[in-house]
Amino acid sequence: MLKTLFSCFLILAFSGSLLAQTSDDLKKKQADIQREIDELKQSLNDTKKNKKAGLGQLSLITKKLRLREQAINNINDQINVIQNNISQSRNEITRLKQELDTLKTQYEKSVVYAYKNRSNYDFLNFIFSAASFNDALKRIEYLKSYRQYREQQATSIKNTQLLLQGKITGLETTQKRKSDALVEQQKEKVVLVEERKEKDEIVNKLKTRERELTKELTDKQRADKKLRDGIMAAIRREADKARAEAKRREKEEAAAAAAAAKKAAANPATTSPNPNTTAANNTPAKPAPVKSKSVFDATPEGELISDNFEKNRGKLPWPVDKGQIKIHFGPYRIAELKITGNNPGLTLETEEGAAVKAVFDGEVISVFEVDGSSAVFVRHGKYFTTYSNLNSVTVGRNQQVKAGQVLGKAASNSEGNGEIEFVLMQDTRNLDPEPWIRRR
C-alpha cells in the first residue's frame, strides 16, 4: 500500500511539474507580449504629439491590436491549462477519498478482530496451542507482523489524509488562479474594444487626408524607383570592378604558372628515376565544387565577408536605435484607405535627426541623392544594404565602416516624424530585411 501511495505521489508530482512548466511558458509569453504592447503604446503616444494622423500611427495601432488579441488568446490557453489541472485534481481527490474509505474499512476490521482477541489468555492460548516449538515461534512472528500491519494501516491512513488535504488545498489555489485569469482576460477584452475605437478614430482622420496620403505614397513609389535605379547602377559598377579584378588575378596566375613551367623546362632533372619509387598518379583531381556564382565572391576576402554576413542572419542590429516598422517589405495593402504598393525594403519610422547606423562591417560604395535627401549604399561581400532618406551623411565613397558606425541622420516625413528606407539585397535580388535583423 505504501509503495502504491509513493508511486501515486511521484506521478502527481511529475504531471504537476509538466503543467507548471507549460503554465510558466505561457506566463513568460504573456510578459513578452505585454512588453511589446507597452513599447508600442509609448511609440504611439510619441507619434500623436504631431497634429497630423499618419500611416505610422495606423501601423502602430494595428500591431498593438494584433498583440492584444494574442494576449487574450494566451490567457485563454492559460485558463485551459488551469482547467485541465483542476479536472485532474478533482479526479485524484475522488480516487484518494475512495482509497481512504477502503483503508479505514480494513483498519476497522483489524481493530475489531484485535478487540475480540485482546486478552492475554487468548494470546497465550494461541501460542501454546501450537503443535511444536517451531510452530509456536511462527505464531509469535505472525502476531508481530500482524501488529506491524496494523501500524502500517494507520500510517497509510495518515499519509493518504495528508495527500488528500494537499490536493484539496492545491485545488482551491488553482481555482483562485483560474478566477484571476478570467478577470484578467475580461480586462484585456475591454481594452481591446477601446483600442479598436482608437483605430477607428485614426482611420477616420486618415480618410480626411486620403488624397494627401495617396500622393505621399505615390511620391514614395517614385522615390523607390529612383533608389532602385541608383542601387542597380552602383551594383553594376561594382560588378564591373569585380570582374576586372578577377581577370587581372587570372592573368597574374597564368603568367606565374607559365614562368614556373619555363623554369622547369630549362632545368630538367639529371638523376635517373628510382625503379622502386611508385609512379605519381597523373589522374587529374576533381575540381572543388563551386560554392557561389556571385562575381562579388571572386576574391577570398569577398567570400569571407559574405559568409560572415550570412552567419549573422537574425542577429543584425537595427539601423536606428529607436523605431518601428511603418511599412513592411514587399506588396502591401492598406485596406482602410484602399491603398496598395510594393516596398523594396523596410520603411522605418523613428525620431527626426536620429542616428542611422551600419548594420554590419562593409565598404561605402556610393552616396547619392534621391528627391532631395541622401542615400548611403554599403557593400558586405555579395550583400548590400542601403539607408535612404537621410538629411545628412557622415561617410564617403570607398570608406570602410564598422557595424554600429553612424552613416547619417534621419530626415522627416510628411507627419513630422523621422523616417528612413532600409533596403537589403543579395547581388541584384531584393531580400526582406526583417528576418535578418534582431527581434525587439
Average pLDDT of the chain, as a whole number: 80
Please tell me the predicted confidence (pLDDT) of residue 256. Answer: 78
User: Does the pLDDT at position 300 exceed 80?
Assistant: no
User: Counting Cβ atoms within 10 Å, is residue 388 exposed (0-12), middle (13-18) or buried (19+)?
Assistant: buried
Q: How far apart are alpha carbons 13 and 7 in whole angstroms? A: 10
Mean pLDDT of 62-83: 91
User: What's the whole-model pTM score?
Assistant: 0.66
* Domain residue limits, the chain: 2-207, 210-256+313-440
Residue 70 CA: distances (Å) to CA of 9, 34, 62, 327, 387? 36, 10, 13, 21, 33
Please tell me the predicted confidence (pLDDT) of residue 18. Answer: 43
Mean pLDDT of 324-344: 86
User: Contact at 8 Å (CB) between 78 and 181?
Assistant: yes
- 22-28 contacts at long range (C-beta below 8 A, 24 or more positions apart): 22/81, 23/78, 23/81, 23/82, 26/74, 26/77, 26/78, 26/81, 27/78
pLDDT digits (tens, 9 = 90+) for 268-290: 654 445 555 444 455 555 555 54
User: Does the pLDDT at position 390 exceed 60?
Assistant: yes
**Which of 341, 340, 343, 320 lies closest to 330 in space, CA to CA?**
343
Q: Per the structure block, which three cell numbers stand in for 114?
A: 484485535
Mean pLDDT of 172-178: 88
CATH of 210-256+313-440, picked from 2.20.28.90, 3.40.50.150, 2.70.70.10, 3.40.50.300, is 2.70.70.10
Mean pLDDT of 1-19: 48
Residue 251 CA: distances (Å) to CA of 189, 205, 255? 71, 66, 6
Question: Kind and range of the H or E element at 413?
Answer: none
Min mean pLDDT across 16-25, 152-161, 316-325 is at 16-25
Confidence class of residue 413 from pLDDT cuts 50, 70 and 90? confident
